[in-house]
Chain A
Amino acid sequence: EAQLLESGGGLAQPGGSLRLSCAASGFTFSDYAMSWVRQAPGKGLEWVSLLSARGDTTYYADSVKGRFTISRDNSKNTLYLQMNSLRAEDTAVYYCAKAPASVCSTSCYRNVWGQGTTVTVSS
């Protein structure tokens, strides 16, 4: 069974940094594009970023472009999200989610989701 387990969330100050991790198991991680989707408290889902299976193509939402960096280590079956210059509006549950393909040139749906990790940005 495919599983995703996020970690690294917590409290950060405005302007600070956090690095999220997502450990994958139960499927061939290196065959699939992976992404981050977030959900602010009491709000809907917001796509953040997507990375191709080989790690050579990235996509970002305008709201995080230039501040967040998505990456992966296929040898460790792990996806990352480096978040810099954090703002209060980045406060959310961050979900790691698997795409059904290796490349999502026009985007993809998500067929496996992690349980999420909570990021709170506050002074």
Chain B
Amino acid sequence: DIQMTQSPSTLSASVGDSVTITCRASQSITSWLAWYQQKPGKAPRLLISKASSLESGVPSRFSGSGSGTEFTLTISSLQPDDFATYYCQQYNSYPETFGQGTKVEIK
């Protein structure tokens, strides 16, 4: 199975900050990576697919990059609505696997 490791596990930031979350795969997944946002008690929401393709309706302050085994999600100017937990998911092969999550908290 491909292991997905996110860092950091928790990130404290202020409104307006630029933040970056890293996701590392245990083997190459080319660009088959998605990012999701989840708020407490809510379902995940797709933000980005194929490592860098922004989903329709997602604000442009979200961006993704990377290929192979290392990927990043960047939020360029953190807004109050962005405080949430973020997950990466590899869909290169079964079983599909998720990172453990990164919680973005208010500093």
Interface size on A, residues (CB 8 A): 21
A44 with B43: CB separation less than 8 A: no
**Across the interface, which residues of A come within 8 angstroms of B43, CB to CB?**
95, 113-116
| Partner among B42, B96, B100, B101 whose Cβ is within 8 Å of the Cβ of A107 | B96
| Residues of chain A whose beta carbon lies under 8 Å from any beta carbon of chain B | 37, 44-47, 59, 61-62, 95, 100, 104, 106-111, 113-116
Instruction: Report the interface size class on chain B.
Output: 20 to 34
**Across the interface, which residues of A come within 8 angstroms of B94, CB to CB?**
59, 106-107
A113 with B91: CB separation less than 8 A: no
Instruction: Decide yes or no: A107 and B93 within 8 Å by CB, A45-B87, A45-B98, A47-B98 being known contacts.
Output: yes
Interface of B is mostly: loop
- In Å, the complex CA distance between A46 and B49 comes to 18
| Residues of chain B whose beta carbon lies under 8 Å from any beta carbon of chain A | 32, 34, 36, 38, 42-46, 49, 55, 87, 89-101
**Across the interface, which residues of A come within 8 angstroms of B92, CB to CB?**
106-107
- In Å, the complex CA distance between A47 and B101 comes to 14
Interface of A is mostly: loop
- In Å, the complex CA distance between A113 and B87 comes to 14
- In Å, the complex CA distance between A100 and B32 comes to 13
B46 with A47: CB separation less than 8 A: no
Q: How far is the CB of B45 from chain A (nearest CB, A)?
A: 7
**Across the interface, which residues of B come within 8 angstroms of A114, CB to CB?**
43
- In Å, the complex CA distance between A77 and B4 comes to 33
- In Å, the complex CA distance between A44 and B101 comes to 6
Give 27 A-B contacts (CB < 8 Å), ordered by A residue.
A37-B44, A44-B87, A44-B99, A44-B101, A45-B89, A45-B98, A45-B101, A46-B98, A47-B95, A59-B94, A61-B95, A95-B43, A104-B91, A106-B91, A106-B92, A106-B93, A107-B32, A107-B90, A107-B92, A107-B93, A108-B96, A111-B46, A111-B49, A113-B43, A113-B45, A114-B43, A116-B43
